[in-house]
Amino acid sequence: MAPARIPTLVTGRLVLRSLVPDDLEPLIEIQAEESFWWYPLRAGMTADQTAAFLERVLESYERDGFGLEAVVERASGSLMGWAGLAVPHFLPQILPAVEVGWRLAGAARGRGFATEVGAAAVAFGFTSGGLERIVSIYEPQNAASGRVMEKLGFTPSLSTIGPRGEELVVTELRRARWEEHTAGAAPRHAAASPPGTSVPPDEPDPRQSTV
């Protein structure tokens, strides 16, 4: 199988690029933070768990044609966490679907990074990705994540129960609403494709990967 081509998206302060095996070391440190995986694990990940996590993400690139990506701060070149589009295989009752998600190191929070990178991923999904609908999923206690969804225009779609028995709210954003939501704001493609940045022209179509 030809290797998947994962988009690199550049925003004002961040780069969203595919995760690679060399990210393992900094990822182990970030994912060990208790707050990083508090929802839903209520604990940080061990080094072995993070190695298995990274392997699953790399597998998703091949299986789904896309997946979660590294969030890198442009100024420092440091890995800040991960974000992006992925198929929510952990919640089979809502498939087929494409989810946008985000997790950042504690030190990277509170600066608008999740909203910035989330907006770029959503813009990519609705343009080059050809999606009609994107979901985002959170535990209702996770107010910061819910607020990011709200800022991006997502609205609650349904409540369900996750694999650990946790209550989950599935929010959704449809392309038409995204177009309305972004109209009048910054130019629609600015976050994903600032001048001088290109996205590979023949990305896999996420819609074909979710069935």
**Sole binder of ligand COA in the list 43, 95, 107, 143 (CB under 6 A):** 143
Interacting positions 13-52 with ligand COA (CB under 6 A): 35-36, 39
Rounded to 10 deg, the angle between the 47-64 and 24-31 helix axes is 120
- Choosing from 11, 18, 31, 145, the residue that interacts with ligand COA (CB under 6 A) is 145
Q: Quick one: 27 or 104, whose CB is closer to ligand COA?
A: 104
Q: Is 110 in the site for ligand COA (CB under 6 A)?
A: yes
Contact (CB, 8 A) for 35 and 29: no
Residue 52, judged by CB atoms within 10 A of its CB (0-12, 13-18, 19+), counts as: exposed
Could you say which of 49, 115, 160, 209 contacts ligand COA (CB under 6 A)? 115
Residue with tokens 């999923």: 137
What is the pattern of x (binds ligand COA, CB under 6 A) and - over residues 66-105? ------------------------------------xxx-
CB of 47 to ligand COA, least distance (A): 19
Residue 36 or 204: the one with the smaller Cβ distance to ligand COA is: 36
CA-CA-CA-CA torsion sign (171, 176, 178, 181): negative
10 vs 114: CA distance, rounded Å: 13
Residue range at the interface with ligand COA (CB under 6 A); choices 122-130, 143-151, 179-187, 191-199: 143-151
List of residues 6+ apart from 144 with CB closer than 8 A: 109, 114
Distance CA 166, CA 177 (A): 29
Binding site for ligand COA (CB under 6 A): 35-36, 39, 102-104, 109-115, 138, 142-145, 147-148
